[in-house]
């Protein structure tokens, strides 16, 4: 019998809670929340009063042990994040791994999800897509991650905090080049918006609320880069913002040759 539940909660409109989610939350002995101050608003709206414990990125390992202990005592445990599905760009993955390792069964109560909702609102191709979540803080790590997905012919989905919007879009443009994008915000709320824009021009709308940014997939293939001379191939990545060493490494990877062989084409750069 499962007695640990990862419960999806509304991403904006409190009415989006599912009947099964309410049933589990009402039947739980304890609830672990990303931020107890935030989750209490949802629980109060549905007159659910349960012991609350925090489970966030700074205490997730400790919280996991408490959840395992509670489950082993036969208690029913619900795990929620501030909004949407726990684990997806939210705490919970460490808890899942700890539960697996301890042999404690768990299940999921599906529901609202910002990335999938944004994909529908964008009207971008949805047959195939890749969810990348939040980009790293360091510029070199952001560009390295983006490069891994540059040639994928599918819609790319990112979570972006409003203060990082211009920074992340600029890095997307430097790596992907010109592409259509869509900024989706305030999903399920009164001022819901899905604004299409070009990466070169950036997003010029309201900066309030959490964003999901979608970028169209690659239309060109890697073969086009490999058709360049070795020197131009390296320059392509340097113009995209990589330093010379990283540009050589990426070009060599594209061509399937050793970095040492690619290096000789960069001596005059």
- How many domains, the chain? 3
Does 56 share its domain with 133? no
131 class by beta-carbon count within 10 Å (0-12 exposed, 13-18 middle, 19+ buried): middle
User: Which of 109, 124, 151 is a domain's end point?
Assistant: 109
Q: Position of tokens 């739980």?
A: 28
Considering only CA atoms, which of 202, 196, 195 is closest in space to residue 172?
A: 202
Q: Position of tokens 């960069």?
A: 266
Does 177 share its domain with 87? no
Residues of the chain with pLDDT > 90, as a percent, come to 78
Tens digit of each residue's pLDDT (9 = 90 or more) over 225-254: 778 899 999 998 888 888 899 889 888 888
Tens digit of each residue's pLDDT (9 = 90 or more) over 85-111: 999 999 999 999 999 999 999 999 999
Cα–Cα distance for residue pair 171/168, rounded to 1 Å: 5
Structure tokens at 252: 């060599």
Tens digit of each residue's pLDDT (9 = 90 or more) over 32-70: 999 999 999 999 999 999 999 999 999 999 999 999 999
Tens digit of each residue's pLDDT (9 = 90 or more) over 156-171: 999 999 999 999 999 9
pLDDT for residue 226:
78
Does 105 share its domain with 14? yes
How many Cα atoms occupy the beta-carbon half-sphere of 44 within 13 Å? 6
Q: Which CATH number covers residue 71?
A: 3.40.1010.10
User: Which of 79, 109, 139 is a domain's end point?
Assistant: 109
Strand 155-160 relative to strand 129-133, pairing: parallel
Tell me the pTM: 0.80
Does 37 share its domain with 80? yes
Q: Is the pLDDT of residue 215 over 70?
A: yes
> 235 lies in which domain range?
222-266
């Amino acid at each position: 019998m499962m007695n640990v539940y990862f419960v999806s909660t509304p991403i904006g409109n409190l009415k989006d809670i599912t009947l099964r989610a309410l049933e589990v939350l009402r039947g739980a002995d304890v609830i672990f929340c990303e931020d107890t101050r935030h989750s209490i608003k949802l629980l109060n709206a549905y007159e659910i009063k349960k012991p609350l414990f925090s489970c966030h990125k700074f205490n997730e390992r400790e919280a996991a042990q408490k959840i395992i202990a509670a489950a082993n005592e036969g208690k029913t445990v619900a795990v929620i994040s501030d909004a949407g599905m726990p684990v997806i760009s939210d705490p919970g993955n460490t808890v899942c791994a700890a539960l697996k390792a301890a042999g404690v069964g768990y299940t999921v109560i599906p529901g609202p999800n910002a990335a999938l909702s944004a994909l529908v609102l964008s009207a971008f191709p949805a047959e195939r897509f890749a969810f990348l979540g939040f980009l790293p803080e360091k510029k070199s790590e952001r560009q390295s991650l983006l490069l891994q997905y540059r040639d994928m012919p599918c819609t790319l989905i990112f979570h972006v905090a409003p203060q990082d919007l211009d920074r992340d879009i600029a890095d997307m443009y430097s790596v992907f080049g010109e592409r259509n994008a869509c900024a989706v915000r305030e999903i399920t709320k009164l001022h819901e918006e899905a604004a299409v824009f070009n990466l070169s021009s950036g997003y010029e709308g309201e900066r309030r609320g959490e964003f999901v940014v979608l970028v169209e997939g690659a239309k060109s293939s890697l073969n086009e880069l490999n058709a360049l001379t070795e020197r131009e191939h390296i320059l392509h990545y340097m113009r995209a913002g990589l330093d010379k060493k990283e540009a050589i490494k990426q070009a060599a990877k594209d061509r399937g040759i050793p970095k040492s062989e690619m290096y000789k084409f960069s001596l005059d750069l």
